[in-house]
Amino acid sequence: MPDSISPTGTPNPKMTARNVSVYYGDKKAIDNVSIDVDRDNVTAFIGPSGCGKSTFLRTLNRMNDTIPSARVEGDIKLDGEDIYSSAMDVVQLRARVGMVFQKPNPFPKSIYDNVAYGPKIHGLAEGKVELDTIVERSLKRAGLWEEVKDRLTDSGTALSGGQQQRLCIARAIAVDPEVILMDEPCSALDPIATAKIEELIHELRGRYAIVIVTHNMQQAARVSQRTAFFHLGNLVEYGQTTDIFTNPRETRTKDYITGRYG
């Protein structure tokens, strides 16, 4: 028997969700999901379109707040702190729990400014020298520094798609987050750019808790240590990635990952 992990049995989890349901108006998009996000591992959310994986990801930094009809029930905690409490500063939360989207969305500003923007508004740098250090460190961690160090004043939008996505990751890293959420970060990228992002995820593991939503099961298999399978708003199975892809316990998981999903 492989060791299955209980969704809520992670020792020392970075984030915990308990009995979370999400509604869009009357429609229930997420039904009573409880899951832990491990701080040292990459967690992948997989499932067919409309299964709720992106919706659930967005509850982890309150991105659903921006959708008027969306309503979230249940508890979500970041290091034990309730992120939906009235005391929680949402801007601060989104700095601690950063997000990278499907389509790279750099600001129409210079490469430098794209990365410096967050640290500036959050007051993380005192003076130009410190800001320069943060920008360089973030671009290095995002694996982009060597490619852009001589043209930091060029517009971020002039970069290739893969570079833009790494710029967005650098931007997320620049504010020194604790968790990085990635919503299909490679679906608009070619295989080489995808491989670079996957390598980057591997590099960032351990420094940040990472949660990635992906349609590409091979990608989930390659980058994550834990995989959660969502279906029709339910968390069907959560386990070690190796177990999910070699020996899933649930028929629905098996049918989905083997390409039998009807």
Return residues touching another protein (CB under 8 A).
1-2, 217-218, 245-248, 253-255, 257-262
Rounded CA separation 52/231 (Å): 7
Min CB(261)–another protein separation in Å: 7
Q: With respect to another protein, which residue has the nearer C-beta, 92 or 261?
A: 261
Min CB(254)–another protein separation in Å: 5
The set of residues, in sequence order, having a beta carbon less than 8 Å from that of 45 and lying 6+ positions away, is 53, 54, 56, 57, 211, 212, 213, 214, 227, 228, 230
Q: With respect to another protein, which residue has the nearer C-beta, 69 or 247?
A: 247
Q: With respect to another protein, which residue has the nearer C-beta, 212 or 221?
A: 221
Q: With respect to another protein, which residue has the nearer C-beta, 88 or 195?
A: 195
Indicate the SS3 state at residue 104: coil
Strands (E), the chain: 13-24, 27-38, 42-46, 70-78, 81-82, 97-100, 179-183, 209-213, 226-231, 234-240
Q: With respect to another protein, which residue has the nearer C-beta, 12 or 218?
A: 218
Tokens of 113: 């400014």
Min CB(4)–another protein separation in Å: 12
Tokens of 118: 């967050």
Min CB(201)–another protein separation in Å: 20
Q: With respect to another protein, which residue has the nearer C-beta, 208 or 238?
A: 238
Q: For the chain, how long is the longest CA-to-CA vector?
A: 58
Min CB(219)–another protein separation in Å: 12
Rounded CA separation 238/230 (Å): 9
Backbone angles phi, psi at 9, to 5 degrees: -115, 20
Min CB(239)–another protein separation in Å: 12
Min CB(255)–another protein separation in Å: 6
Q: Which among 173, 64, 175, 66 has a CA at the least distance from the CA of 118?
A: 175
Q: Which among 80, 72, 70 has a CA at the least distance from the CA of 36?
A: 80
DSSP 51: S
Min CB(258)–another protein separation in Å: 5
Cα distances from 79 to residues 40, 180, 181, 202, in angstroms, run: 13, 14, 16, 23
Q: With respect to another protein, which residue has the nearer C-beta, 164 or 224?
A: 224
Q: With respect to another protein, which residue has the nearer C-beta, 48 or 206?
A: 48
Strands (E), 144-225: 179-183, 209-213
